[in-house]
Structure 1
Amino acid sequence: MEDHRLFRFPKPQWMNSANTRTGGVYAAGALFSIALFTLVDAATYSKSHKNGSDFHMNFVDWIPGIFSALGMIIINSIDKSRLSADNFSYSGDGVAWKARVILFMGFAAMAGGLAGGVTVMVLKYVVQDASWPALWFGVGNVVANGLVMLSSVVLWVSQNMEDDYTYNLAL
Structure 2
Amino acid sequence: MSIPRSSYDPRRVCLNLSNLNLGRHRRTIGIYLAGGLFALANWTFLDAAILSAHAHSPYNEPQIPPPVHVGFLDWVPGICSLLGMIIINLIDKDRVQGNEGYGESGAVWRARLWLFIGFAFMAGGLAGSVTVLVLKYVVHAYTEQYTYYGYANVSQNVALMLSAIVLWMSQSISTEYEYTLSI
TM score, norm. by length of structure 1: 0.85
The structure-2 alpha-carbon separation of the partners of 1:166 and 1:133, relative to structure 1 and needing over 3 Å to count, comes to same
User: Following the alignment from structure 1 to structure 2, what is the Cα–Cα distance between the partners of residues 12 and 65?
Assistant: 30
Gaps of 5+ in 1: none
Partner residue of 1:138 out of 145, 150, 154: 150
1:24-39 to 2 correspondence within 5 Å? 24-39=30-45
The SS at the match of 2:22 is: helix
User: Following the alignment from structure 1 to structure 2, what is the Cα–Cα distance between the partners of residues 29 and 13?
Assistant: 20
The structure-2 alpha-carbon separation of the partners of 1:56 and 1:82, relative to structure 1 and needing over 3 Å to count, comes to same
- CA radius of gyration, larger in: 2
The structure-2 alpha-carbon separation of the partners of 1:51 and 1:21, relative to structure 1 and needing over 3 Å to count, comes to farther
Native 8 Å contact 1:86 1:92 kept in 2: no
1:113-132 to 2 correspondence within 5 Å? 113-132=125-144
Aligned match of 2:62 = none
The structure-2 alpha-carbon separation of the partners of 1:51 and 1:121, relative to structure 1 and needing over 3 Å to count, comes to farther
Native 8 Å contact 1:51 1:133 kept in 2: no
The SS at the match of 2:19 is: coil
The SS at the match of 1:14 is: coil
Aligned match of 1:158 = 170
Poorly superposed stretches of 4+, deviation over 6 Å: 2-5
Partner residue of 2:76 out of 57, 63, 68: 63
Partner residue of 2:19 out of 11, 25, 45: 11
User: Following the alignment from structure 2 to structure 1, what is the Cα–Cα distance between the partners of residues 29 and 176?
Assistant: 17
Q: Does 1:81 align with 2:94?
A: yes
Q: How much has 1:50 moved relative to structure 2?
A: 4.2
The structure-2 alpha-carbon separation of the partners of 1:11 and 1:23, relative to structure 1 and needing over 3 Å to count, comes to closer
The SS at the match of 1:168 is: coil
Alignment: residue pair count: 165
Native 8 Å contact 1:28 1:152 kept in 2: yes
